[in-house]
Copies of this chain bind each other. A is one copy, B any other.
């Protein structure tokens, strides 16, 4: 059967499927006047491969499964999902290897299915990434619970002196409410930091990923532990969805006050075409247009609006505050092809990057993405 790529399977439990995706992005940021020449050089219009994944997944008789995928978008290798799974019971799956440590709703949703080119600012700022660990998931009727212990990302673990480790748990309920699905959840993260590199840096790009300039940025020295708390809520019904998340990240330090930073977003989206927003088991999924180009139709069109905030100023650390208002239009001509057009206005306050000495200013950003996957 074709799921983008052919999935070859047998009755006794074998299956195999190649995997891949390409996201090619155009982005443009119009910053304030008064930046330095060096800062300005990062703005303007740029093109990049945002993600290029290649890999395989499969299953074997006996309850085992796997995924092996790399990201080559940056002309190097970054190890993506790379794990062995075991179906330990009807509801319980164990996963060993590189995977997402039970972050919140949007981060756990595949980057193929986000409403904007980029996820929320806090997702980028607080270092959400895949890490090598052992995770357990319980998937019941209307509930998903995930708990795992994790080391660090594969590249960081290339240094044998990296001894960071964390415990990460997430719980979400998804009751049926008024003909739709309500999603309510939260996640907790406690991470002991590698003591040989006691500085953590939190920063986020302005709306698009094509620029490497960050207006807001906090470097926190003498860090010993990160504690994260995320709350997530969503409602999905037919063409409509609304999502809100907030995340609090506390850094424990030796000899200094412990700052707590916060970020979050609220979003509404609507499908202009007669299609249905996809949600399943605690994450958003693939929108499959009822009348795609492949059946003579025009595909699905979704519009979304979002307000996003990130506050990196606390306890004497002045990383700045960034707010973003964004709108997006998604065109999904067929199941495995997607185009995104989005625009955002960014307001920063108390930012370490100043414009003519002013730490508060605005910027405009727009982006486009073309994407396919298999």
A residues with CB within 8 A of B: 2, 4-6, 8, 10, 12-14, 16, 18, 20, 22, 24, 41-42, 44-49, 52, 54-56, 58, 60-64, 66, 68, 70, 72-79, 82-84, 96-98, 132, 151-152, 154-155, 157-158, 160-163, 196, 210-213, 292-295, 333-334, 336-337, 370, 372, 374
Contacts and interface: CB of A to CB of B under 8 A. Distances in A.
Contacts of A8: 6
Contact of A372 (B46, B64, B162, B213): B64
B294 A42 contact: no
A46 B294 CA distance: 50
A75 B75 contact: no
A48 B372 contact: no
Given A49-B154, A157-B47, A372 B66 contact: yes
A61 B291 CA distance: 12
A56 B374 contact: yes
Given A46-B157, A64-B372, A72-B77, 12 more contacts: A2-B10, A2-B14, A6-B16, A12-B294, A18-B18, A24-B132, A46-B162, A49-B82, A52-B79, A60-B372, A64-B336, A75-B154
Of the listed residues A76, A96, A161, the one surrounded by the most CB atoms of chain B closer than 10 A to its CB is A161
B60 A337 contact: yes
A303 to B, nearest CB: 22
Contacts of A68: 20, 22, 52, 54
A39 to B, nearest CB: 10
A60 B24 contact: no
Contacts of A4: 60
A76 B75 contact: yes
A18 to B, nearest CB: 6
A264 B333 CA distance: 44
B334 A97 contact: no
A18 B8 CA distance: 12
A97 B20 contact: no
A56 B336 contact: no
B77 A160 contact: no
A163 B56 contact: no
A73 to B, nearest CB: 8
Given A160-B210, A336-B60, A5 B13 contact: no
Given A154-B49, A157-B46, A163-B44, A96 B370 contact: yes
Contacts of A157: 46-49
Nearest to A97: B24
Contacts of A334: 60-62, 64
Nearest to A49: B154
A24 B155 contact: no
Contact of A78 (B75, B151, B370): B75
Contacts of A152: 47
Contacts of A24: 84, 96-97, 132
Contacts of A151: 47
Nearest to A4: B60
A5 B19 CA distance: 14
9 contacts: A5-B58, A22-B68, A61-B295, A64-B293, A64-B337, A64-B372, A72-B79, A75-B77, A75-B79
